Structure 1
Amino acid sequence: MPFKIAVASGKGGTGKTTVSVNLQYFISRYLTDEVLLVDCDVEEPNDRIFFPQHKIVSDLEVSQSIPEIDLEKCVYCRRCADYCEFNAIVVIPPARFAEINASLCHSCGACSAACREGTIMEKPHPLGTITTIDTGIGKGVVEGALKVGSAMQTLMIKELKKYVSGNRTGSENSEEIILFDAPPGTSCPVVETVADVDYVILVTEPTPFGLNDLMLMVELLVEIEKPFGVVVNKAGLGNSEIYSFLREQEVDLLGEIPFDKDYAGRYAEGKLLQNVDDRWGCCYSGIVKSLERRFQQYEGINYFKW
């Protein structure tokens, strides 16, 4: 089984994708080439843009099963509406009206089980696309892209993770490490991303907003009992309150990445991995070294090439 790491943050803009992309590069350089990057920010996936020579290996259309009501058979008993936990079904018996809102449906199947008349049938509706990408680094990138207008981020992430765990086109599924680039925030899509990982790397910035959202993310991970450590990005910007919090809570500081306009400019141009400066190489190799104990504890395996 591969060692699974999620890279997450309580807010957007902290550098989560920056860290994810660079970690895959430096893990492939120092640990193992069998490292896969999975872009779980399904509303706006962008990991691939940092690999200008990437090649698309496959595209897979993903659908969700949306129930439809046969109005000719429906007796308007409202059992389906009562069973629906997401208020996706409206039934008005006097008006002989019954309808399922596809944008609210979570494809749980409760309405079909509730219906005694057999009037509900499920039909596939487009959910999004899963793309496998050869980047020339490690095992490449697998990206999930939600259909525009859909609110089913969590379901799309479930399908993406199921695909990564199954038999993928052009892959032998031989990864030793899988990196999940999580969506920002602390909502359901993030919980789904980190639910079954072995370790979480939290990326934050030393600002009041960064500290506030880091505290929310730490509270979440403590609640679901996930081991984690913190990477402080844009170090030197803001104040030192975030370090006081890490000391007080005895949270592992995996490393720091200093704030630098030149580095930010490379990010803006999508050139993070081109001509990597020694300063940034040292930062990321240090973070990778900080993970060494975690890997060694995982089934007693020592991946490192130091």
Structure 2
Amino acid sequence: MRIAVASGKGGTGKTTIAVNLALSIPNSQYIDCDVEEPNGHLFLKPKIDATKKIKVFLPEIDERRCRLCGICVNACQFNALAIAGNKLLVFPELCLSCEACKEVCPMRAISRKDSEIGKVNVGATMEGKIAFADGELYIGKTRAVPVIEAVKEEILEEKVAILDAPPGNSCPVIETVAESDYCILVTEPTPFGFWDLKIAVQVVQDLGLPFGIIINRSGLGDFEPEIVDFCKKEKIPILLKIPFDKSIAEAYSRGQNLVEFRPEWRTEFKQLFETIKEQVKNG
């Protein structure tokens, strides 16, 4: 089973939910797909057993063969190639590694050049109870999706995989939540939290995923009634509310998990998992 934890707005508590859910249920695996800023390892403190480098295709031009015909430039849908004077230029930041340029070149002047953009770490918590994998997109690199794809390849089908998604609603999020059995959307009762939640709801509805909402920092601000009314109108289940509590924030800043700081919350997360299983079962 795959459960994705996402949100529109960053900082709503996705990692808090994902980590504590993984800690509360048996046979779990934590998958950190927030590859631009993975932080689940700070709370689970895994032992890393293997690190895998992630490489993608970049075109390498053989200037001796290239006739500057422009066929590759026209074939590239991402404007990653251009002819300037008597030189064919490559813009690595725009290339999506489709290899169309290499395929259409009549002179075979384009070959594969591997570009290392990130890495994937695989391991388990020190007690071995939770399988772990996260990805890291290198600084200065722009393509999160190939790294997320590589992280997801580490999912163990016999486990309950908890996928911690990046913030926002763009391609990295869609790649993370795609093929999940269920998606938890985490929000907070603030104007930005509510606005981005509505966009996230549209995304998961378009993907056809069953989903529910968790309100983190419940009691903060004035927007909680609007979120509740929105969920009633859209018939979206509110799965859980976590209160706005200074002691929880202080424990978080120390790297302490909610279910360890307040063991009674382990029961809440176990019930959350049972609720999700029931919703998935009932379609």
User: Taking structure 1 as reference, are residues 190 and 229 closer, same or farther at Cα in structure 2, changes over 3 Å only?
Assistant: same
Give the corresponding residue for 1:301: none
Q: Map of 1:36-115 to 2, 5 A cutoff?
A: 36-52=29-45, 54-92=46-84, 95-115=85-105
Offset of residue 89 of structure 1:
0.7
SS at match of 2:77: coil
Name the structure 2 match of 1:16.
14
Matching residue's letter, 1:9: S
Letter of the 1:140 counterpart: A
Counterpart of 2:31 in structure 1: which amino acid? V
Find the counterpart in structure 1 of residue 138 from structure 2.
147
The one-letter amino acid paired with 2:174 is V
Partner Cα separation in structure 1 for residue 264 and residue 215 of structure 2: 15
Q: 1:183 to 1:132 in 2, by over 3 A?
A: same
- Which of 253, 256, 262 aligns to 2:238? It is 253
> How far did residue 279 of structure 1 move?
4.4
> 1:138 deviation in Å?
3.5
C-alpha distance in structure 1 between counterparts of 2:75 and 2:162, whole Å: 37
CA RMSD in angstroms comes to 1.7
Distance 1:286 1:236, change over 3 A: farther
Which one-letter code corresponds to 1:60 in the other structure? K
TM-score, normalised to structure 1's length? 0.87
1:130 has 2:120 as partner = yes
Q: Find runs of 4+ consecutive structure 1 residues off by over 3 angstroms.
A: 273-276, 294-298
Aligned pair count? 280
After TM superposition, give the deviation of residue 210 of structure 1 in Å: 1.0
Is the contact made by 1:25 and 1:137 (CA closer than 8 Å) also made in structure 2?
no
How far off its partner does 1:18 sit? 0.2
Distance in 2, matches of 1:137 and 1:203, equals: 28
- What residue number does 2:3 align with? 5
1:198 and 2:188 aligned: no
Q: Given that residues 35 and 135 in structure 2 are in contact (C-alpha distance below 8 angstroms), is that contact kept between their aligned partners in structure 1?
A: yes
* Structure 1 position 270, deviation (Å): 0.8
Answer whether contact 1:128 1:156 (CA < 8 A) is retained.
yes
Q: Which amino acid aligns with 1:17?
A: T
SS at 1:72's partner residue? coil
Instruction: Tell me by how many angstroms 1:133 deviates.
Output: 2.5
Partner SS for 1:22: helix
CA–CA distance in structure 2, aligned partners of residues 275 and 77 of structure 1: 64
Distance in 2, Cα, partners of 1:226 & 1:295: 10
- Report the equivalent of 1:281: 266
| Residues 120-176 of structure 1 deviation map (CA, whole Å, 9 limit, x = unaligned) | 000211111100122136432101001110000112112222x315xxxxxxx4533
CA distance, structure 2, for counterparts of residue 222 and residue 153 of structure 1:
23
After TM superposition, the structure 1 = structure 2 runs for residues 221-232 of structure 1, keeping only pairs within 5 Å, are 221-232=204-215
Contact 2:80/2:90 (CA < 8 Å) preserved in 1? Answer: yes
Q: Is the 8 A contact 1:202 1:228 kept in 2?
A: yes
Secondary structure of residue in 2 paired with 1:219: helix
Distance 1:186 1:137, change over 3 A: farther
Q: What's the TM-score, normalizing by structure 2?
A: 0.93
Give the whole-Å Cα distance in 2 for the aligned partners of 1:174 and 1:197.
12
Q: 1:289 to 1:134 in 2, by over 3 A?
A: same
Aligned counterparts of 2:230 and 2:257: Cα–Cα separation in 1: 30
Q: SS state of the match for residue 198, structure 2?
A: helix
Q: Is the 8 A contact 1:88 1:101 kept in 2?
A: yes
1:248 partner SS: helix
What are the equivalent positions in structure 2 for 1:182-221 lying under 5 Å apart? Answer: 182-221=165-204
Following TM superposition, by how much is the alpha carbon of 1:251 offset from its aligned partner in structure 2, in angstroms? 0.4
Q: Provide the C-alpha distance between the structure 2 equivalents of 1:184 and 1:64, rounded to a whole number of angstroms.
A: 24
- Per-residue deviation, residues 162-205 of structure 1 (Å, max 9, x unmatched): x315xxxxxxx453311110000001100111121111110011
1:168 is matched with none
Partner of 1:156: 147
CA 1:260 to 1:137, structure 2 compared with 1: closer, same or farther past 3 Å?
farther
CA contact (8 A) 1:24 1:138 kept: no
1:181 corresponds to which letter in structure 2?
A: D
Identity in percent: 38
Q: From the superposition, tell whether residues 241 and 137 of structure 1 become closer, same or farther in structure 2 (CA, over 3 Å).
A: farther
Secondary structure of the 1:130 match is: strand
* TM-aligned CA deviation for residue 58 of structure 1: 0.9
